[in-house]
Structure formats: structure tokens, C-alpha cells
Amino acid sequence: MKQRLPNLFKKKFLNYFYIIFLGAISSYSLPPYNYFIINFITFSLFFIFIFKKRTVSDKFFFQYGWYFGFGYFLFSLYWVTISLTFDQDFKFLIPIVIILLPAFLAIFYGLITYFFSIFFSKNVITSFFIFSILFGILEFIRGSILTGFPWNLISFSFSKSNYFIQALSIIGTYSFNLICISLFTVPALFFLRGSKKKFLVSFLFVLVAAMFLIFGYIRNNNFNSLESVKKPYTIKAVSSNISLDRFYSKQDELKIINELIDLSAPTKTKPTIFLWPEGIIPDSYLKEISIYKDLFFNSFGEDDLIIMGLNSKKIKNDKYLFFNSMAIFNNKLDLITSYNKVDLVPFGEFVPFEDTFRLVGLKTITNNLQSFSSGETRAPINVKNDKINLNLLPLICYEIIYTGKLSKDDNFDYIINISEDGWFGDSIGPKQHFSHSIFRSIESGKYIVRSANNGISAVINPIGMVEQEVKFGSTGIVELSESKLVKSTTFMLYGNKIFLMLILIYIFLIFSFNRIKYE
């Protein structure tokens, strides 16, 4: 008996280490590495492991999923802790957060295997579909609940496979993610004893993958055959590397603005919309920026517009509310319109239960104020003067990661995204962040113009190709002066309703394959 106990603990330890290892290795399928071939091995081995464990009535099913998720998120999100290094008050949290964040996100993966044990079937095909459905649904919930965090869905493994990901324009990211999970798990069917139906299932998903590639090839060719239309204006996005010190100490704001103007290189000869990064003006609030009106008037032409990220505030019920804003000005710094960020970063821009957490010293990372307040709604903003008239959908930083209905109003010409990626240093974080822009461009069928400080600025076309880019760590500009007109995508029309339809199709397939007499 004494000998059996150490052996039992040793076996459990090896099991947990094995699953953490599979999750950790899977993380290298994500941007910027994109070794998606890894997932055919890791997902298949993980499915084989939990399937065999369930047949012998093992009771530790939540733990199996949790350990896989922990390894996956620990190795793919370690860079989040870099944001805690800029303020001495936060450094003590680094060892806590580097464990706590993956531990929390791993709960969703634990729930996957827990529910798998409940709905388990000894029929390998049925269990295969149940595993895919549960994984897809729990990833959808992870991206929606508690403000949502749809970062590092396994589908981002294919972010550099341009033909393959064109399916996003029809089915969207969550549906694509569900199909990717199935594809990665298909090899497991050949290592588990079961009926010959596994050949039919494998053929089905190989056929789906082939259809994705064919559709992507056709969509790319159709787009490339379209005529580019020259615009009477230019959108010019600035990519800067201005230090994050501006958030923590008094900076020479005038010097920062002059640097941005120099990078913008205004000519006054053609109407231009200048796009500056998120939070780039450190001290002046929206209503105070007019102190620089003479500088802007002398630098920009009368038909130029300047879009910039800065903070704004207003009084409500005798209390100041602060917002992370995007504002549009003319060359006299007259405010044309503004947008307040709707989807805020938990603990980065707002602290849940703030009054309680402040008692133990917790505050927002990105500012020394109280939590930012969320804007009321996101809708296209009209940018208009005598020479320019277009609708732009504003997305500030983190908002680019959400898939689905970006706005109730789909009548916009371009998506503009401003970001501050310096919080994550020279890590894989900014590259992962950028990959979301590629997915959003394909889903929406719209050009995205992105301006990032300490990040990647780019023009991304409606098929997810980066037409212009300022590489990470460099400064410069990207310009959009002509574009191609693409019809609204199917996903833009129906959003994540398509995901629900795909879940129903998977359930239908379970019953269909169970009725097929093929042994």
C-alpha cells in the first residue's frame, strides 16, 4: 500500500506535466510564430488522453482541461506582466499576475473537459463532435462573459494563411475557430478504436478545408481584379515610438506634438486625414487642446483633418468622468466630433469593484486617475469638410479584438484603429494584437487603417493583406489614397448568428453519423 501511493502520485504528476506540456507547445502555433502544424499533434494527443481517461471512469476531468489551458495561456500571455513594470506600485504583482491570469482563463478549458465527461460517449465519432462543440462554445463564452477576452483563439494559428482564412468573411471568427478545433483533432480518430465512419468524418473535414482554400483563392482573385478608385483625399496614419513616461511624469507635451507633426509631414497641397495613436497627447484634455491652435494652423492645410487619441472628461452628478477618446479636429483645432471608447481593458483602464480594490492599493495601469468610464455606443463617425465626406468606424486599441457586430450601423467606408502597444515592450504581445486587425478586415470586408505608438501601423485591405506597414520598433507613416469597393460580407450582415447555426449543424452531424450503418 505504501508503495502504491507514491506510484499513484507520480503517475498523476506525469499526467499533469504531460497536459501542461501539450498546452504550452500549442501556444507556438499562435502569432507571431504560426506553427499551426503543431496543433494537429497536440490537440489529437489531448483528445486521445481525455477519451481514454473517461473510459476508465477517471474523476479528475476538470483538472485535465485546466492544466492544458494553463500551459497554453502561460506561454502565450506571459507578456501581459510587462505592463506592470512601468509603475513601482505594480511590480509586486508580477509573479501573481503571471500565474493568476492563465489560471483564470484555464477555467474555461477545465469546463470543456468537465462537460465532456458528462456528455461522453464511447462512440469515438460522437465524442469527437461533442469535444469540438464544447470547445467552440466555451471559447465563445470566454470572449463574451465579464467584458470578454477573445485573445489567442486557436484559429489565430492561421493568421498568416491568407487563402484559408477568407472563410471569415462568411462564417466569422468563432465559427472558424470551431472548425479549426475539429480539423486539429481529426488525426486522433485514427489512433482510437472505432468504426470505419472515421474515414467519412475525416473526408468531410478535409473537404471543408479544401473548400476554404478554393474559396480563398477565388476571393483573392476577384479582389485583385477590381479597379482601384483614386480618392480626393489621403488618410495618413502615423507610427511613432514616444515613451510611456508621458503617463507617469510631466513631459514636454509641445515636443511630443512637434514630433508627431514632423512624422506627419503635412504638405497642405491635398486634403489629408492624419491619424495619430491612442493617448498620444499626455496632459491636455480634449477641451484644453485648443491652446496649440496656432501651431496646428501653421502646420496643416485648411482642408486637413487631424484624428488623435487623448483623454476627455465631463461632470455628471457633481463627479468627474474620464474617457479614453478619439477626437477629430480641423487645422484650427475646432472639434468636429469625438468618440469615447466603449470596450475598456479590465485593470488597464478600469478596476472592477474599484472602491474595494483601491483599499488594497490597486488602481488602473494606464493612468493615475480613477477608472475610465465606458462610452455609450460605437457608431460610424462622419468626417466632413469642403473636400472630404466619409464615414469612419472608430476602434481604440483593445476594441479591435472583438468579433461580431462592431456597430449596429454598417454604413461606413473604413475602420480606423488607434493603439498604444508600448505597454507590452518588445514582446510577442503587439504582434498578437496586430493579427486581430487582419481577422477584422476580412470579416467586415473593409480597409483598416491602423496607427500605433510603439507598435505596428498598417493599411490592411478587405482580404486581410497588409498593403503598407511600418514595422514594429520603427517610425514612419502609411497612406491610403485609393481603395477598392467590396460588397458587405455575409458575416457583416448576420454576425455571430452564424456560429449558432454551425453548432446546430454539428449536432445534426452527431445524429446523422450515428444512423449511418457503416462498420
- Residue 323 main-chain phi, psi, to 5 deg: -135, 145
- In sequence order, the β-bridge partners of residue 382 are 391
pLDDT tens digits, one per residue of 467-494? 999 999 999 999 999 999 999 999 999 9
Q: Which has more confidence, 411 or 156?
A: 156
- Is 351 domain-assigned? yes
- Is 208 domain-assigned? yes
Q: Which domain holds residue 384?
A: 229-485
Please give the Cα distance from 252 to 105 (Å, whole number): 40
Same domain, 276 and 407: yes
Task: Please report the pLDDT score of residue 2 as a whole number.
Answer: 52
pTM: 0.93
Q: Residue 152 pLDDT > 80, yes or no?
A: yes
Same domain, 129 and 275: no
Q: What is the DSSP string of 143-180?
A: TTGGG---TT-GGGGGTT-TTGGGGHHHHHHHHHHHHH
Please give the Cα distance from 395 to 371 (Å, whole number): 19
- Is 427 domain-assigned? yes
- Is 490 domain-assigned? no
Same domain, 422 and 501: no
The percentage of the chain sitting over the pLDDT mark of 90, rounded to a whole number, equals 74
Lowest mean pLDDT: which of 45-59, 165-179, 269-283, 284-298? Answer: 45-59
Please give the Cα distance from 432 to 409 (Å, whole number): 28
Please give the Cα distance from 501 to 228 (Å, whole number): 36
Q: Residue 22 pLDDT > 90, yes or no?
A: yes
**Distance from CA of residue 174 to its chain's centroid?**
12
- Is 258 domain-assigned? yes
Same domain, 113 and 198: yes
Q: Residue 111 pLDDT > 60, yes or no?
A: yes
The total number of residues shown for the chain amounts to 519
Is residue 483 within 8 A of residue 468, CB to CB? The reply is no
- The SS3 call for residue 20 is helix
Count structural domains, the chain.
2
Same domain, 73 and 158: yes
- Is 128 domain-assigned? yes
Query: Over the chain, what is the mean pLDDT?
Result: 91
10 Å Cβ neighbour count for 37? 10
Please give the Cα distance from 298 to 320 (Å, whole number): 34
Same domain, 122 and 18: yes
Same domain, 312 and 453: yes
Q: Residue 434 pLDDT > 70, yes or no?
A: yes
Q: What is the mean pLDDT of residues 455-465?
A: 98
Q: Helical H runs in 376-515? A: 429-444, 490-494, 497-515
The percentage of the chain sitting over the pLDDT mark of 70, rounded to a whole number, equals 93
- Is 391 domain-assigned? yes
Is residue 281 within 8 A of residue 292, CB to CB? The reply is no
* Three cell numbers, residue 405: 457586430
- Is 115 domain-assigned? yes
Same domain, 98 and 217: yes
Same domain, 236 and 189: no
Q: What's the burial of 287, exposed, middle or buried (CB within 10 Å: 0-12/13-18/19+)?
A: exposed
pLDDT tens digits, one per residue of 171-187? 999 999 999 999 999 99
Same domain, 154 and 237: no
Same domain, 213 and 234: no
Same domain, 90 and 219: yes
10 Å Cβ neighbour count for 22? 22
Task: Please report the pLDDT score of residue 32 as a whole number.
Answer: 96
Is residue 329 within 8 A of residue 296, CB to CB? The reply is yes
- CATH number of the domain at 461, please: 3.60.110.10
Task: Please report the pLDDT score of residue 359 as a whole number.
Answer: 46
